């Protein structure tokens, strides 16, 4: 029988992940699973726990939000072994959504017990890996602005305030984009590249993306004024922005290069990387094995 390790981030979702411990025990005992639970004590510790666990546990489950999933995945990718499971317990659970894993903990735990696995693609952006989405432009600045805004506004409204603030202060970025052999010059609002569909807490920015198709999906938003952007923004939640072809262009590719003289930041699975002038998105040769809802 596969041994399962649950790595729980006790602060994820404001304590929601930690509150799932009784449910995890109940469902694992019901299915007579051989499992263990470990709690992280500090940021990034999940990477080391995952690295150390692969020899003894076939399945390592991240219980938390996207930050916890990324850390556990990083540990497994570093060692090149093991299977990742996810029980969503964070405020943002975009990776789970991109994999079709339910954000309802009972369903997510049943998915684990069913044991369906698939190998998913691993994205690469300069020297970093990403599983879900890496992006430049508007949304990266929203994340940066939200870091200071949320110190003043401590509720969920801080993100909406940050979107409006960024909309007012944002300057379009002049970039040269090369998607495989296709070169274009654009003044972009944003460019998102990914394996998964969802980011930013449930926005379906790449509706056609498949985590295992060995292609990166690309969304470029350009040629749009701020007022129209304000109306376009809510359509991203359901993936309807792709209908507005004058402003939103969708591509698939293997290698995407972005060059600019402007100041741009990258949002890599929700973490902001320092400013860069040249960004190359590509696909790793290796894959990550995950427990999922369907093959």
Ligand X SMILES: Nc1ncnc2c1ncn2[C@@H]1O[C@H](COP(=O)(O)OP(=O)(O)OP(=O)(O)O)[C@@H](O)[C@H]1O
* Residues in contact with ligand X by the rule CB under 6 A: 9-13, 40-44, 64-68, 71, 90-92
In whole angstroms, the minimum distance from the beta carbon of 188 to ligand X comes to: 25
**How far are the Cα atoms of 43, 154, 201, 265 from residue 151, in angstroms, in the given order?**
19, 6, 19, 21
Q: Which is nearer to ligand X, 138 or 159 (CB)?
A: 159
The span from the CA of 168 to the CA of 171, in Å, is 9
**CB of 121 closer than 8 Å to CB of 195:** yes
CB of 66 to ligand X, least distance (A): 5
Q: What does the alpha-carbon distance between residue 224 and residue 172 come to, in Å, rounded to a whole number? A: 10
User: Which CB atom, from 64 or from 194, has the smaller least distance to ligand X?
Assistant: 64
* Residues ≥6 apart with Cβ < 8 Å to 74: 47, 50, 129
Q: Are 8 and 45 in contact (CB under 8 A)?
A: no
Comparing CB distances to ligand X, the nearer of 62 and 221 is: 62
Distance CA 11, CA 90 (A): 9
Q: Give the nearer residue to ligand X in terms of CB position, either 42 or 295.
A: 42
Give the residue at shortest CB distance from ligand X: 65
* CA angle (246, 248, 249) in 5-degree steps: 100
Q: How far is the CB of 158 from ligand X (least distance, A)?
A: 11
Closest approach of ligand X to the CB of residue 242, in Å: 26
Query: 187 near 221, Cβ under 8 Å?
Result: no
For residue 207, the minimal CB distance to ligand X (Å) is 22
Considering beta carbons, is residue 72 or 179 the nearer one to ligand X?
Answer: 72
* C-alpha–C-alpha distance, residues 85 and 117, integer Å: 9
Min CB(76)–ligand X separation in Å: 16
The smaller minimum CB distance to ligand X, of residues 41 and 169, is found at 41
CB of 199 to ligand X, least distance (A): 11
Least spacing, CB of residue 146 vs ligand X, in Å: 10
Half-sphere exposure of 135 (CA within 13 A, CB side): 31
For CA atoms 76, 77, 78, 82, the dihedral sign is: positive
- The residue (of 163 and 218) whose beta carbon lies closer to ligand X is 163
Residue number with CB closer to ligand X (11 or 136): 11
CA distance 179 to 261: 19
């Amino acid at each position: 029988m596969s041994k399962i390790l649950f790595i729980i981030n006790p602060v994820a979702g404001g304590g929601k992940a930690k509150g799932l411990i009784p449910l995890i025990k109940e469902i694992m005992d019901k299915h007579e699973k051989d499992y263990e639970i470990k709690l992280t004590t500090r940021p990034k510790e999940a990477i080391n726990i995952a690295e150390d666990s692969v020899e003894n546990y076939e399945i390592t489950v991240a219980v938390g939000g996207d930050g916890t999933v990324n850390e556990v995945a990083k540990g497994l990718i570093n060692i090149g072994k093991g299977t990742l499971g996810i029980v969503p317990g964070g405020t943002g659970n975009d990776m789970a959504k991109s994999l079709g894993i339910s954000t309802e903990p009972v369903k997510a735990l049943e998915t684990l017990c069913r044991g369906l696995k698939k190998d998913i693609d691993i994205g690469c952006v300069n020297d970093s890996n990403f599983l879900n989405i890496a992006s430049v432009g508007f949304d990266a600045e929203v994340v940066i602005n939200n870091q200071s805004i949320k110190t003043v506004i401590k509720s969920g409204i801080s993100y909406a305030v940050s979107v409006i603030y960024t909309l007012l202060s944002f300057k379009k970025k002049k970039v040269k984009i090369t998607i495989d052999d296709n070169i274009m010059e654009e003044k972009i609002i944003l460019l998102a590249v990914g394996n998964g569909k969802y980011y930013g807490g449930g926005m379906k920015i790449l509706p056609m993306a498949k985590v295992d198709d060995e292609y990166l999906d690309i969304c470029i938003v350009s040629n749009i004024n701020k007022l129209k952007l304000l109306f376009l923004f809510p359509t991203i939640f359901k993936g309807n922005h792709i209908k507005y072809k004058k402003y939103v262009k969708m591509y698939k590719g293997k290698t995407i290069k972005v060059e600019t003289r402007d100041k741009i930041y990258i949002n890599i699975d929700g973490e902001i990387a320092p400013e860069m002038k040249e960004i190359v998105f590509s696909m790793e040769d290796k894959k990550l094995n995950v427990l999922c809802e369907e093959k």
